[in-house]
């Protein structure tokens, strides 16, 4: 078992191209040609529907989506309808769960993996002064309510597992234009709103990080890239893997040169 997690950060990528990259990585991981991988990126505006999603949760018409340049894709993950767009950190962990174990020695399951993803995002939010939590019965990460203000959704999670290999993953709102969420009922939840890390963060207590593996730190701006570094570092800690960042997928495996 390798204790290395490869980090890929290809920037802003169209959803179909990123999906193709995921599919290639899943197959390479299944055959043992590569180890675990975490892909962190942004997407242009797009709606994705989980395999059992209710299309009535898309409140915008096809004409409105087309006019606003928002694409629509049906995917294999769990969950309902989700929006991705600029200012949102999207993470695709490609993990072989058969190589991950719990403290009890039992093999990690899908629910265990989701709970650890939530823990990663909760801790990262805390580094930016945002108190976050889980909500029973509702996957994802939510702000802790205060007074009459109910919890708001900060991150969505929707995983797919095939023969022990994970794909799809999470979306953390960093500085997303929240008006785009009016196109949908996010994850089918109509009685709560969504929010951004930027809107919730106390700027005086921004998190710190400049290095994934060396642990060096200095004040970090609230951007998708800097939050991504914090997520990668925390992911390595929670999933007990050393994170190795590569500049391009082809450095991981030659078949990814033209992904």
Looking at residue 219, its pLDDT comes to 41
Tokens representing 108 are 């990690």
Entry pTM: 0.89
Higher pLDDT, residue 182 or 107: 107
Q: Among 89-93, 190-194, 250-254, which stretch is predicted with the lowest mean pLDDT? A: 190-194
User: pLDDT band at 248, cuts 50/70/90?
Assistant: very high
How do residues 161-198 score in pLDDT, each as one tens digit? 999 999 999 999 999 999 888 888 765 666 678 999 99
Higher pLDDT, residue 65 or 239: 239
Q: How far apart are CA 121 and CA 36, in angstroms?
A: 19
Q: How far apart are CA 3 and CA 242, in angstroms?
A: 6
pLDDT beyond 80 at 127: yes
**CB contact set of 69 (below 8 Å; sequence gap of 6+):** 44, 45
**Does the annotation count 113 as an active-site position?**
no
Higher pLDDT, residue 257 or 81: 257
Tokens representing 235 are 């992911």
Query: Quick one: 4-256 is in which CATH superfamily?
Result: Bira Bifunctional Protein; Domain 2 (3.30.930.10)
Looking at residue 130, its pLDDT comes to 95
High-pLDDT (> 90) share of the chain, %: 66
Q: Which one from 187, 224, 229, 232 is the annotated catalytic residue?
A: 187
Mean pLDDT of the chain: 88
- Mean pLDDT, range 90-99, rounded to an integer: 97
DSSP assignment of 139-150 equals EEEEEPPBTTBP
Q: Return the DSSP state at 125.
A: H
């Amino acid at each position: 078992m390798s204790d290395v997690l490869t980090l890929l950060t290809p920037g802003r990528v169209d959803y179909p191209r990123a999906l193709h990259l995921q599919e290639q990585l899943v197959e390479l991981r299944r055959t043992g040609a590569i180890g675990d991988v975490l892909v962190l990126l942004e997407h242009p505006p797009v709606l994705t529907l989980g395999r059992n999603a209710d299309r009535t949760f898309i409140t915008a018409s096809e004409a409105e989506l087309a006019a606003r340049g928002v694409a629509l894709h049906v995917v294999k993950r769990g969950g309902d309808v989700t929006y991705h767009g600029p200012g949102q950190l999207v993470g695709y962990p490609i993990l072989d769960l058969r190589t991950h174990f719990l403290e009890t020695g039992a093999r990690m399951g899908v629910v265990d993996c989701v709970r650890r993803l939530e823990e990663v995002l909760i801790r990262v939010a805390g580094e930016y002064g945002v108190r976050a939590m889980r909500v029973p019965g509702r996957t994802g990460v939510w702000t802790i309510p205060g007074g009459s203000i109910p919890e708001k959704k900060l991150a969505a999670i929707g995983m797919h597992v095939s023969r022990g290999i994970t794909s799809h993953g999470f979306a953390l709102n960093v500085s997303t234009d929240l008006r785009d969420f009016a196109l949908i009922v996010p994850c089918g939840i109509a009685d709560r709103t969504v929010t951004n890390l930027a809107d919730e963060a106390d700027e005086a207590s921004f998190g710190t990080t400049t290095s994934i593996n060396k642990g060096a730190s200095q004040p970090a701006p609230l951007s998708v890239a800097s939050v991504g570094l914090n997520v990668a570092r925390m992911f390595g800690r929670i999933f007990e893997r050393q994170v190795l960042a590569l500049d391009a997928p082809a450095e991981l495996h030659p078949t990814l040169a033209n992904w």
